[in-house]
């Protein structure tokens, strides 16, 4: 854990101590008295990052505007574009429609791809936002779940920000600490006006007293650094390798990733086949998210969570192998029937592809 990440956790714990509605236990108040870069009074804690995102988006965007949301909303008006001619053209298109882009959202490590933004790219994104007077929402909810030997640069670790008043940091306990049922989302911002407005909404999304009290235990920085985080990183790396190697053995290509709790693999060729395979997976008690749920513009991608026990990962591989075998057998039947009717030879590339599935 870097110094900036440790200081962030210390500041969050200090806020929880200050704001606990359960009791007035002042043990460890010395932590909040230490001199550090992060003031606990610049932090807003709510019951999960979704609540933080909703409140922050409400404050930064105009009424009736659209903002990205992870949930059951079927459409999203915010495009995901690479910087370049396409992005600039799209911004001009929005400008002539009377739509003003107000926020740049960065997720690092990325969800669902697991990519890590290099420090230089992160700085360029922040400078781009500064030039165009955009707010930046920096979501680093997987910042402590980087398992590859790759340097992760948190926005908190940068010596200076191009526009600190418009840079807002989000993080939560659920991913990095495996506490998905403990709803604690954190917003850190130096913009007093934004924080004041968010706090007016935070009263409707407050953390329960027992959750605040139990979360205070995370001030054990030495234990986190020397025991929990190294162990967690080791287990994540082993589980990821076990799953990726297993998928490779049955001929399923996997996108390379370095962080997060999931891998992104390719199986189908059309959106219809993707949904059909997803239903087969559900029928066999295997819950894997299809790419369509993440607005993926290419068909056939799936996001598979690997942060589980070795036994469950092995069961997952066996179920995938069985389903692929069944699908391949059906393809063979269809291909043979079509060949018999048309008297055409079977393409050798297709034969090799089907044999790889068996």
- Please tell me the predicted confidence (pLDDT) of residue 34: 45
Task: Answer yes or no: CATH 3.40.630.30 is held by domain 3-219.
Answer: no
Cα–Cα distance, 89 to 93 (Å, whole number)? 6
- Please tell me the predicted confidence (pLDDT) of residue 340: 47
Cβ atoms of residues 244 and 263 within 8 Å: yes
Domain boundaries, the chain: 3-219, 233-357
Cβ atoms of residues 5 and 176 within 8 Å: no
Q: Which residue has the tokens 């054990």?
A: 220
Please state whether the peptide bond connecting residue 109 to the residue before it is cis, i.e. omega within 30 degrees of 0. yes
Can you tell me whether residue 137 is helix, strand or coil? strand
- Please tell me the predicted confidence (pLDDT) of residue 317: 81
- Topology (CATH) of 233-357: 3.90.1150
Q: How far is CA 336 from the centre of its chain?
A: 43
pLDDT in tens, 293-312: 888 888 889 998 888 888 88
| Beta pairing class for 167-172 and 185-189 | antiparallel
- Please tell me the predicted confidence (pLDDT) of residue 341: 56
Q: How far is CA 202 from the centre of its chain?
A: 23
Cβ atoms of residues 168 and 137 within 8 Å: yes
Question: In the chain, which residues have pLDDT < 50?
Answer: 21-36, 66-86, 88, 331-333, 335-337, 339-340, 346-347, 349-355, 357-358
pLDDT in tens, 249-298: 878 888 888 898 888 888 778 899 889 888 888 888 888 889 888 888 88
């Amino acid at each position: 854990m870097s110094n900036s990440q440790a200081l962030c956790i210390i500041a969050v714990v200090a806020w929880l101590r200050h704001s606990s509605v359960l009791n007035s236990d002042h043990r460890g108040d010395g932590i909040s008295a230490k001199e550090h870069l992060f003031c606990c009074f610049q932090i807003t804690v709510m019951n999960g990052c979704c609540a933080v995102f909703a409140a922050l988006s409400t404050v930064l965007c105009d009424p009736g505007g659209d903002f990205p949301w992870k949930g059951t909303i079927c459409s999203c008006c915010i495009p995901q574009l690479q910087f370049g001619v396409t992005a600039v053209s799209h911004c001009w298109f929005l400008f002539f429609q009377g739509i003003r882009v107000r926020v740049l959202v960065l997720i690092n490590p990325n969800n669902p791809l697991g990519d890590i933004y290099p420090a230089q790219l992160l700085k360029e994104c922040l400078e781009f936002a500064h030039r165009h007077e955009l707010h930046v929402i920096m979501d680093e909810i997987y910042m402590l779940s980087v398992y590859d030997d790759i340097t992760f640069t948190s926005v908190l670790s940068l010596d200076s920000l191009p526009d600190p008043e418009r840079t807002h940091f989000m993080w939560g306990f659920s991913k990095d600490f495996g506490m998905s049922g403990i709803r604690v989302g954190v917003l850190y911002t130096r913009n007093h006006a934004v924080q004041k407005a968010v706090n007016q909404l935070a009263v409707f999304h407050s953390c329960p007293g027992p959750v605040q009290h139990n979360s205070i235990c995370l001030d054990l920085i030495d234990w986190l650094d020397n025991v929990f985080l190294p162990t967690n990183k080791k287990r994540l790396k082993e589980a990821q390798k076990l799953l990726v190697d297993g998928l490779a053995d049955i001929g399923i290509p996997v996108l390379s990733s370095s962080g997060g709790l999931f891998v992104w693999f390719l199986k189908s060729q059309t959106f219809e086949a993707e949904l059909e395979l997803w239903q087969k997976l559900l029928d066999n008690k295997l819950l894997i998210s299809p790419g369509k749920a993440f607005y993926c513009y290419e068909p056939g991608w799936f996001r598979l969570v690997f942060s589980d026990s070795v036994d469950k990962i092995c069961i997952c591989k066996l179920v995938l192998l069985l389903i692929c075998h069944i699908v391949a057998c059906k393809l063979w039947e269809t291909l043979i029937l079509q060949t018999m009717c048309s008297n055409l030879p079977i393409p050798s590339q297709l034969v090799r592809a089907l044999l790889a599935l068996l």
